Amino acid sequence: MSGSHAAKPGKAQPAAPSKGKPFDAVMGTYARQDIVFARGEGSWLYTTSGDKYLDFGSGVAVNALGHAHPRLIAALTAQANKLWHTSNLYRVEGQEVLAERLTELTFADRVFFCNSGAEACEGAIKIARRYQYVSGHPERWRIITFRGAFHGRTLTTLAAGGNEKYLEGFGPEADGFDHVAFGDHEALEKAIGPETAAIMIEPIQGEGGVRQVPPQCLVGLRELCDKHGLLLVLDEVQTGVGRTGKLFAHEWAGITPDVMAVAKGLGGGFPVGAILATAEAAKGMTAGTHGSTFGGNPLAMSVAGAVLDVVTESGFLDDVRTRTLRLKQGLASLKDQFPDIVEEVRGEGLLCGLKMKARVQPADVVKAANAEKLLLVGAGDNTVRILPPLNVTDADLSEGVERLSRALSRVSKTLS
Ligand SMILES: *Cc1c(COP(=O)(O)O)cnc(C)c1O
């Protein structure tokens, strides 16, 4: 027997999980599809049973450069041969280099590294509250957020998102968030009070259904924050690192936030998150105010550095925008082809959505796409997300649109 763990008495040794009978040992928090992938390459995933899927979900906007990108593998293995982890008790060279690059590329002067999107959002909330505290406004600690938002699954980020379904059964909702209807300017102005510290928003609601904040509204939010002494906190966990055709989505609006949460695409599949802030916004984040054991670990830093190398190469984002046009044209033609089931094409860059007519369930579209060996991701507001890798080839893009067309035919047949 390997290891020193004796099997629990009365329990048989588990056999390999068979199709349709996954192990029960994994907590049942996900409604998973019964597909097991063994390996990936570019935009393609290969199952243990030999099937081949076109991946237009990218692990929910994480595999920004597809699967098994040679430069990411090289960066990870080179680092793996040198050093994995030291903790944040010591200087971590990779953090210093990556933070420097991120500050050169963005509005930010300071970066904190963490491991996930929820952690990045939670940290962003802490930074906003702390900023007001050290600015002589300890009473300003509330944050305005928006209906349909998603900021993560910690107790505080759940409260920030305010989705009743996710909050149920987990005790009193964490205080400190005032939820405003998406796009309701009047309600937003009214929600600002003497206790407001910040406004927190996704430039495009991802989980919420690819709902884009119009650029002029982001400009308005920036002005509102400046007028009231609030911080503008952007959650670019899903929209960041080239996903919308700019390095960060707020660049489309020509504004800058005070604080920004980043994760998903940053590590191209390696878990890493970051909180970016101006020096002013981060002025309260002194030694001891925040921390993470794993955050900014050398492996994560090396891979994130390689992702940034590729995404910031001259022409890369231009190519993302060209691919976007092709994809959007394809999706628009699908809307014309299936007017009874497709309501609207949404999104910016390769964060696209098809809002379906009320009688169509996004889950059924995802299932029909699976049957065509195409992976998509469901979302709120009756929407299906289309999130190919940023470096998807033209051929794969066309193939994806074709498969989606066949998937919509399937859905259409079940309705008539
Ligand atoms: C996915 C997501 C999060 C949460 O990220 P995790 O890594 O799952 O914790 C937060 N905000 C946005 C906008 C996201 O899309």
Cα gap 33→374, rounded to integer Å: 13
Q: Which residue minimizes the CA distance to atom 5 of ligand 1?
A: 117
Residues of the chain with CATH 3.40.640.10: 71-311
Nearest residue to 271 (alpha-carbon basis) of 242, 240, 238, 294: 294
How far does the centroid of ligand 1 lie from the alpha carbon of residue 115, in Å?
Answer: 11
Q: Is 290 exposed, middle or buried (0-12, 13-18, 19+ CB in 10 A)?
A: middle
Q: In what order do the strands lie in the sheet with 377-379?
A: 342-348, 351-356, 383-386, 377-379
Q: Is 168 exposed, middle or buried (0-12, 13-18, 19+ CB in 10 A)?
A: exposed
First and final CA of the chain: distance in angstroms? Answer: 57
Nearest residue to 266 (alpha-carbon basis) of 151, 99, 153, 122: 99
- N residues, the chain: 416
Site of tokens 């051929």: 395
Residue of 115, 145, 153, 237 to test ligand 1 pocket, by largest number of atoms within 8 Å of CB: 237
DSSP string, 49-92: TS-EEEESSHHHHT-TT-BS-HHHHHHHHHHHTT-----TTS--
Domain 71-311: assigned CATH number: 3.40.640.10
* Contact status, residue 173 vs residue 167, Cβ threshold 8 Å: yes
CA atoms lying within 13 Å on the CB side of residue 156: 14
Domain 37-56+315-415: assigned CATH number: 3.90.1150.10
The amino acid at 131: Y
How far does the centroid of ligand 1 lie from the alpha carbon of residue 229, in Å?
Answer: 27
Per-residue pLDDT of the chain (416 residues; tens, 9 = 90+): 344 455 555 555 555 555 555 568 999 999 999 999 999 999 999 999 999 999 999 999 999 999 999 999 999 999 999 999 999 999 999 999 999 999 999 999 999 999 999 999 999 999 999 999 999 999 999 999 999 999 999 999 999 999 999 999 999 999 999 999 999 999 999 999 999 999 999 999 999 999 999 999 999 999 999 999 999 999 999 999 999 999 999 999 999 999 999 999 999 999 999 999 999 999 999 999 999 999 999 999 999 999 999 999 999 999 999 999 999 999 999 999 999 999 999 999 999 999 999 999 999 999 999 999 999 999 999 999 999 999 999 999 999 999 999 999 999 999 87
